[in-house]
Amino acid sequence: MKEKFLTIGQVVQKLQPSFPDLSISKVRYLEDEGLINPERTNSGYRKFSENDVKQLEVILKLQKEQFLPLSVIKQKIKTVKTDELTSELEAPKKETFFSASKDNKRFTLADISQKTGLSEQEIHNLETYSILKPEETPEGKSYDDSDVKLASIAKRFSRIGLEPRHLRMYETFAEREAQLLWQILLPELKRLKPEHSQKVLSDLSELLDQSQDLKDILLKRALDQYFGNF
């Protein structure tokens, strides 16, 4: 049976109910970034196979649900099959050693504002720069304990003139460090049986403590160069 292909417009129309912000220009951008590679007709028009559409859907879900940067997504789809990623995304969320200690209590926008003293516009600005990452629910935005802590820190920083756009630097550093650790530890995790993978995650937990110590020392050393004479 001959495989049926879709045009770029048909692909956007098919996926837009789940991803309202999807546009033809975004699909083209993802292709330019090397995340998808649809075939072309003799006339040069893109034609998307069923697998192309599945891969695009996985990419969009990883962006929307896991907030992964495109560089990490690109590495993921190179090393993990699309069907495996689809199953991973559809599976019930399992508790990890990160979420195990996480406070499960959820907060509304009004809760965050009341607890931190930030206005709704200031909270929105933090979301714009990916400092806060609420979940969208039928009742509205839902925040976790880490959002409350980050918003409180942002409030204190604002007193010395640090704005959300400045805090984006920390988010970028965190994304790069997470990507580096993921690339280093992923081969080991894939090699081990599931019952042995906890050892790698335990090592990662210890590594995070050491990483924080390293950053503290380097930051204090750098600050000493600027403020040491005052």
Res 14: pLDDT:
95
Greatest mean pLDDT among 91-105, 142-156, 189-203: 142-156
> Where is mean pLDDT largest: 133-142, 155-164, 192-201?
155-164
pLDDT at 199 over 90: no
Q: What is the pLDDT of residues 169-187, one digit of tens each?
A: 998 898 888 888 888 887 7
pLDDT tens digits for 35-71? 999 999 999 999 999 999 999 999 998 887 776 778 8
For residue 103, tell me if it sits in a domain. yes
The secondary structure element, H or E, covering residue 8 is helix 8-15
Handedness of CA 151, 154, 156, 159 (dihedral sign): negative
Domain residue limits at 61: 8-88
Number of domains present in the structure of the chain: 2
- Does residue 102 register a pLDDT over 60? no
Q: Within a domain: residue 221?
A: no
pLDDT for 104 beyond 80:
no
Is residue 93 one of the residues assigned to a domain?
Answer: no
Evaluate whether 207 touches 181 at the Cβ level (below 8 Å).
yes
Q: Average per-residue pLDDT in the chain?
A: 85
Q: What is the DSSP code string of 98-141?
A: TGGGS----B-HHHHHHHH---HHHHHHHHHTTS--PEEETTEE
Q: Are residues 112 and 65 part of one domain?
A: no
Q: What is the pTM of this model?
A: 0.56
| % of the chain surpassing 70 pLDDT | 87
CATH code of residue 61: 1.10.1660.10
Residue 87 has pLDDT above 80, yes or no: no
